[in-house]
Structure 1
Amino acid sequence: MKNQALQKTGNEQAELLTEIGAYLRQVRQLQELSLETVASITKIPVRTLQAIEDGNLEQLPEPVYIQGFIRRYADAIGVDGTEIANAFPTGAIIKPVKSTWKGTFKAQLRPLHLYVLYMLLVVGAVSGLSYTLNRSASQAGRYAYLTKPVSPGQSVAPGSTEFYGPPAPTQIGKTTAKQIAPTTSGKPVRVGLTLTAQSWLRITVDGKTEFEGVLPEGTQRTWEASKQVVVRAGDAGAVLVSHNEDKPQLMGEPGAVEEKQFDASSHASSQSLVSPATTGQNTVL
């Protein structure tokens, strides 16, 4: 049943992306703009913009990144990027009503369309607020056991994936994450991550997903495995990774989606999933 629901969501995302991509292409061509020009404005690779126009999900990263690309593309060609991006779902969705932005960018919205759009925006806002509150409450519970700041030399329990507590009020805006000492569980694979900017990450330890989500700038985490750790980053240029206490290195270029595998007997192997913009700037979604 779950697989059927996921397949249905994927089909709806593909249909909506096809409609959105066709609309963006039409507006761009009306303004006589090339994909290269849009890429220079948005810092999004040309092939990623082409995949959006073609509705090709296979050539694009996770839906949350696709939504950010759509918003930046639409803003660059003079239409409401937030409205169009919100029409593309990033998770389980209700059967969408035909989007009100179809046709030319000068098309007028009918009252019924406006009513449906407002309802969708309200539902999206309530869902987003509920998710944020639940996540904040969950993290607050995880922080509660810390009664004092962690010192640089203090170690973390083996296999721990807990965050350290939030920074003090006087340190807002600065990197406050402290270096986590190497664990001593004796497992042959140890991978440490330090984020120089916000990035989405998925961590798989011995074939099991241990973490998936967005980590903020300054976060430092360590994972251990008996056989293999796989790290996938939405912005490889924002992630420093160390393997078995080696010198930390960037996972890849800013804005690129990279996946690296680490085991006990070899160096990391990597796979580039989405190339960064030609200017080398980070993609912030």
Structure 2
Amino acid sequence: MKWPKKKNNQQVPLSLEQQRSEKLAEIGAQLWASRQEQGLSLEQVVVLTRIPRRLLQAIEEGNLNDLPEPVYIQGFIRQFADAMGLNGVQVADTFPINSSRANSQSIRINSPLNQLRPIHLYFLYVLLIVCSVNGLSQLLNQAVLQANNSQSDTHSTQKSIVKPELTEPKQVKPELVEPKQSLEVQPVSDTLSGVKQGEIVQIGVTLKASSWIRVIADGKTQFEGTLPEGTHRIWKAQEELTVKTDNAGGVLMSVNQEKAKEMGEPGKEEEVRIAAKPKF
């Protein structure tokens, strides 16, 4: 379990949902980088794994809200990793499903009995004895009444016994029985893939070397600063994305899930603008 911060000199553990979100982002970046190295598109991975494209994209982006239950997510991660030539079982097992750690500190509960004095215990014992005696007497009275009722019922049933007439069972014609209609159940992956997505522009960057980057989405600065080598980030916009860097050769950029390419020559500034496709 991760310990992200301290509060009042005490470490506060992450919730299970936060652990899943962080681990999914880490696994998604690893799978995205592996796919880019092999020059595969998401459509080709869909053919290999039979997983809908939007679920594969949600895994790469670490978007937990667009994915189904955690047990299904783990299965998708295993299939995705196997298709990329990785150990799918090992990668999927790092994604948490259930919380395995319980609170190790026992909570002390003050029992009201610990605060009772001997005189209080004496009255408590007397009350328990009285209640138990009353309950036992009620049970005995109910048993006697049930025995009397059962004897009277047996006498009345013996007098009113009538031999039933033997009747032949009715035969049901097979042609009159209608077969039950079978229910068609769609798999989870097919039902999840029926949602249409709007047209947006998306870029993904992977740092080959430490570089300064500024990203502007729809006129607003989303990020500005230096990212270390090996960092993978994704940004989206409804209309236009602008990416500027001071080391174009150290930045691999992918536009709308296409194959990643270098922004330019190493050590040189470069600015790229990408506009979203118009909706029809």
TM-score range, shorter chain: 0.3 to 0.5
Considering fraction of residues, name the structure with more helix. Answer: 2
TM-score (norm 2): 0.35
Bigger Rg, which one: 2
